[in-house]
Structure 1
Amino acid sequence: MRVLVTGANGYLGRAVVAALETAGHEPIAMVHTAESSMHTATRVADVLDEGGLRQALDGVDAVCHLAGLTRTRKSAVEPLRYFRVNAGGTITLLAAIAAAEVPRIVFASTGSIYGTPERQPMTEDLPDAPQHPYAASKLAAELAIHAQAATGNLSAVILRLLNVAGGVDPDPTRLVPRALAAARDRSALEINGDGSTVRDYLHIADAAAAFVACVDNMPRLGKPTRYNIGSGHGTSILDVVAAVERVTGHHIRLVHRPPASEPAALISDPAKAIAELSWYPTHSDIEYIVRDTWHNLERPESRYR
């Protein structure tokens, strides 16, 4: 199947392109600029340019839509930009998909749409309660996909992911790369509060495999499906630090900052995806994630150009 991957030059996008190719599909990387370095067929387009999108969709059988803005805190400062790109870009893409008569889309969304539910792990039947513009813009995109699928002309899957980690992580602000950098440089690691905050860490290979599984198991037209994609296990900040110390053999000195205003725990329940997609998070043990990230951190040639 020929699959257009929007946001293909990003952290997750590159992994999805590689996973599709390994699975025997023909991925086409949609990038924002011609300068992007990809090792597969590439088409240049912007998610806000319907004409460019229609050209990028020529001959395509399905779309994995990953392009978008993802910074939670930045979304509070630039909410309109986030809605324009995440929601508006998805609507523009849907219009182009309809014009090109492409019948399938898999959308990368976020588990943060659930807000801060007391019940953990989070299942798909929880109500939506986005607490920042990033999550709200992704929910708006989901609603547009649902509405378009309801016309009977689109098969759609929405994947709500949480904390993707591992591999060649280009974001030094995320916890795992920060903790590894502190171990490597013998510097202090600043954390919020006492380190008890719990998150669900999903290896990037498992996240990419979920997109392939969806492409291989698309629902029938008019019946969009949503899956929570995560490890199903909670890992605290202190758990991550301990894993980094074991993997690197270096002690990390912690500096405790005031607690942040954030949920105490966010854990995804992937049971539905496991049951229906023949998918399983096989690489998402925190020690494996840390070891894999450390290995790539120590290989400068693996960094993105």
Structure 2
Amino acid sequence: MTWLITGGAGYIGAHVARAMSEAGERVLALDDLSAGVPERLPVGVPLVRGSSLDGELLKRVLADHAVTGVVHLAARKQVAESVAQPTRYYRENVGGLATLLDAVAEAGVRRLVFSSSAAVYGNPDVDLIIEDTPCAPVNPYGETKLTGEWLVRAAGAAHGISTVCLRYFNVAGAAAPELADTGVFNIVPMVFDRLTRGEAPRIFGDDYPTPDGTCVRDYIHVADLAEAHLAAARRLSGLSGDLTVNVGRGEGVSVRELIDVIGEVSGHTRPPVVEGRRPGDAPRAVASAARATEELGWTASRPVREMVESAWRGWQRHHGG
């Protein structure tokens, strides 16, 4: 097997490349480097610079490297940006996937792992989100991921491609400091950023129907997530058809609890300030991880404190603090 990882030099992609190559899989990465960093890739993993919107490039890469499976992570992923630039998100996330699937079908590749998101669910009022929970995304980013899943399954059925869609929840941490997320878009780096600038972290709403009034989320260590991709890729060798799986820990952590852990780990302990609720925030979004264990033989093993500690080491490497 040779696996092509699109978006392979990104934060998540590089972790997947590392996990798969360390497990003995032969991998190469495709990345346009709009957010990717070539130095994140393990030694010996080739990097092709380019976009999943470039059909001719994809065909050459699949042929030249005798690719037999694809892990598709390349996508834009910021919710607020998707609201401001919906056409860009549909063009890159859905259009790029359609172009890739055409190339995959033409090349005779029969295995594909699609990087989806819990954003497909929207804000369901349930204790644990199962894979059969109705999907009702509330922003263009989530819409493009749900549309992507439909497209993956339809193309799989039409061309005999076995597919796994991984719906993952809130990703944090780093397997090594050099692999850390360099952006300041997710809650852990956002809190680091404010604390190291001497500003109080922000909580958006403390009057939700949760134990401490703040939103509850399911956080997954990026190294666990990478191992889930490896498990999904290997599951495809015995899979005919499609599979959709949540990737989470199945445990909820409130925003206030997470900020407390961040303060303990970083040594910056300014009390948070409470602001108004943000539109669209669900009180609780926690995965049922049972299907991942049953179908992939995978279970998340790293606790929230380890996520924060590893993220803090990465933050110090890239930002100081």
Q: TM-score range by the shorter chain?
A: over 0.9
Q: Give the residue type in structure 1 aligned to 2:12.
A: L
1:171 aligns with 2:187: no
State the match for 2:53 in structure 1.
48
Unaligned runs of 5+ in 1: none
1:297 aligns with 2:311: no
Q: Secondary structure at the match of 1:196?
A: coil
Of 108, 116, 130, which residue of structure 2 is paired with 1:109? 116
TM-score by length of 2: 0.89
Q: Give the residue type in structure 2 aligned to 1:48.
A: L
Q: Secondary structure at the match of 1:256?
A: strand
Aligned mates of 2:190, 2:230 — CA distance in 1: 30
* CA deviation map 1:145-198 (0-9, x unaligned): 111111252010000011111011222232111223344443221221226011
1:238 aligns with 2:256: yes
Residue 127 of structure 1: how far off its partner (Å): 1.4
Aligned length: 301
Contact 1:146 1:224 (C-alpha < 8 Å) held by counterparts:
yes
Which is worse superposed, 104-113 or 188-197?
188-197
Change (3 A) 1:135 1:300: closer
Q: Secondary structure at the match of 2:17?
A: helix
The equivalences for 1:29-40 within 5 A come to 29-32=29-32, 37=38, 38=41, 39=43, 40=45
Of 246, 252, 255, which residue of structure 2 is paired with 1:228? 246
State the match for 1:24 in structure 2.
24
1:271 aligns with 2:286: no
The equivalences for 1:144-183 within 5 A come to 144-151=151-158, 153-167=160-174, 168-183=180-195
Contact 1:164 1:202 (C-alpha < 8 Å) held by counterparts:
yes
State the match for 1:260 in structure 2.
278
Contact 2:62 2:107 (C-alpha < 8 Å) held by counterparts:
yes
Contact 1:150 1:222 (C-alpha < 8 Å) held by counterparts:
no
Q: Give the residue type in structure 1 aligned to 2:15.
A: A
Deviation beyond 3 Å, 4+ runs, structure 1: 33-36, 181-186, 219-222
TM-score by length of 1: 0.93
Unaligned runs of 5+ in 2: 175-179, 207-212
Change (3 A) 1:242 1:91: same
State the match for 1:74 in structure 2.
81
RMSD between superposed Cα atoms in Å: 2.0
Aligned mates of 1:113, 1:99 — CA distance in 2: 29
Contact 2:10 2:37 (C-alpha < 8 Å) held by counterparts:
no
Q: Secondary structure at the match of 1:299?
A: helix
Aligned mates of 2:71, 2:130 — CA distance in 1: 23
Q: Secondary structure at the match of 1:27?
A: strand
* CA deviation map 1:270-300 (0-9, x unaligned): 11011221111111x2111111111222224
Q: Secondary structure at the match of 2:251?
A: coil
